Structure 1
Amino acid sequence: MNASMPARFCRDMGLTLNDFLRSLPAAIEPLTFQVEGRVFTISHPLGSIRIALGETGERRIASLRLPVTPVEFVFNGLDEAARDRFMQRFDRYFHRGGG
């Protein structure tokens, strides 16, 4: 059973700001966004989605070093089904290999 998609949540993502900028347009197409610093506001027919990236840090696993960025998602006006559809597509485009 899937957990409900909350209107506001945070997660750590293994990427840098540049990685995020490279993948975002395809992940949200045909929607558009505005950017102010590390905050992205996406226009949606039902409302808007605000994605705020924190400062990128580093996760170390033995000698491996990976970027990690805290990301906050805030949905305004989108019902749970719309939030779920948005996140399914978003996650497909931001999914990293590894199994």
Structure 2
Amino acid sequence: MTPTHVPEQFDRTMGCTAAELMSWLPRSLPDAQLAVDATLGRCVASWSEGTLSLRWSPLPDRCIALLRIPQLQVHFAFQGLDDAARYARQKFFDLHTHRGGG
């Protein structure tokens, strides 16, 4: 769920692998120019009004009984986008990277 106020910078733990995150980037940031560096775990999404820089690093899997969920620590840094634009971009990103049901 996207908070009503999206700060310019924040960290989030996501339940995915780096490969999964990179495969989601084009559809979760569809109108952005993307510069992805998989080796360094970075992506910069650029729009005319500003940018979103993502940095990620793997965390240990979350284990629940026999279930193992990969995790990434992802740092989000918006630059040049006002509150409304950050909210809209983050909400779209969240809707297209959300997993699970119900």
Return the TM-score normalized by structure 1. 0.92
Q: Which runs of 4+ in 1 moved over 3 A?
A: none
Residues 27-61 of structure 1 deviation map (CA, whole Å, 9 limit, x = unaligned): 11121210222010111121111000112420001
Q: Which of the numbers 59, 74, 84 marks the counterpart of 2:87?
A: 84
Q: Is the 8 A contact 1:58 1:66 kept in 2?
A: yes
Question: RMSD of the TM alignment (CA)?
Answer: 1.2
Contiguous gaps of at least 5 residues in structure 2 = none
Tell me what 2:65 maps to: 62
Return the TM-score normalized by structure 2. 0.90
Tell me what 1:49 maps to: 52
**Same amino acid, percent of matched pairs:** 34
Q: Between Structure 1 and Structure 2, how many residues are aligned?
A: 98
Q: Does residue 1:73 correspond to 2:50, yes or no?
A: no
Task: Supply the AA of the counterpart residue of 2:6.
Answer: M
Residues 5-40 of structure 1 deviation map (CA, whole Å, 9 limit, x = unaligned): 100000000000110111110111121210222010
